Amino acid sequence: MKYVSLVGPIVLLAIWGTLSGFGIVSPLILPTPTAVGRALYSLLISKRLLWPDIGLTFYRTIASFILASMIGIPVGLFMGFLPLFYRMFEFLVDFFRSIPPIALFPLFLLALGFGESSKIGVPLYGCIVIIIINSAYGVKNAPALRRTVARVYGFSRWRVFWKIVLPDSLPHVFVGMRTALSLALVLTVVVEMFFGSESGLGKKIYDYHLLFDTPEMYAAIIVTGIIGYLLSKGFIVVERFFLHWANK
């Protein structure tokens, strides 16, 4: 059972090798794992061409995620805790949640231009709505009994919030943050592909596609997937550190 997590990647490689090795799928569409492995080695170790782009994509992802968390968590918590505040902004949150970030690409281009602001602004918009909603629902779905008991013992409203409501809502908050972190990477790569970017993994993937360098394109896609996996695993470690008391 120790290596059971390797079953999925092994099965994927077996299917991939069969389809490409026996010519079932054209190499232009699906190169062999060996060809992609050589491209990975060249881009990461031999020529090290991807490292600057990895750094920029990582920076844009983390910057948009941190900004979204700094804004979204307080707004969501207060929306859940203060019914009047929730009613005031419920329509806006639901309205913007229904608009895909991709649909706002032209608006971000007009407002922020082609610089770093737009490349961070689009992921920021996509993440902030998710974080607000999860934070608000975390407060609203927290057990009411503990709050009632605290008020019986004379806790003020804000003391109830800090001592009872906030800890009870944190699991939902972290779920929203973890989802937003994955979305931030996805939107960052998409923005880099279509926003006239000169760097980033999304730009590299698009360039390799235009040049029909399929192994290099797959290599850049794999690197993106690895970054997403590492970000998710790293966030789980942080979550366990802060929520070690959860479900106990």
Q: Into how many domains does the chain fold? A: 1
For residue 2, the model assigns a pLDDT of: 67
What's the 3-state SS for the chain?
CCCHHHHHHHHHHHHHHHHHHCCCCCCCCCCCHHHHHHHHHHHHHHCCCCHHHHHHHHHHHHHHHHHHHHHHHHHHHHHHHCHHHHHHHHHHHHHHHCCCHHHHHHHHHHHHCCCHHHHHHHHHHHHHHHHHHHHHHHHHCCCHHHHHHHHHCCCCHHHHHHHHHHHHHHHHHHHHHHHHHHHHHHHHHHHHHHCCCCCCHHHHHHHHHHCCCHHHHHHHHHHHHHHHHHHHHHHHHHHHHHCCCCCC
Provide the domain limits for residue 57. Answer: 49-242
pTM here is: 0.89
Q: 3 in a domain, yes or no? A: no
The answer to whether residue 78 sits within a structural domain is yes
Domain annotation covers residue 76: yes
In a domain, 200, yes or no: yes
Tens digit of pLDDT for each residue in 31-40?
Answer: 999 999 999 9
Residue 208 lies in a domain: yes
Per-residue pLDDT tens digits for 112-131? 777 788 889 999 999 999 99
Between 231 and 92, residue with greater pLDDT: 231
pLDDT in tens, 92-113: 888 888 888 888 888 887 887 7
Band of pLDDT at residue 215, cut at 50, 70 and 90 = very high
pLDDT tens across 164-175, in order? 888 888 999 999
Does 106 fall in a domain? yes
| Average pLDDT of the chain, as a whole number | 88
Residue 162 lies in a domain: yes
At 236, which CATH number? 1.10.3720.10
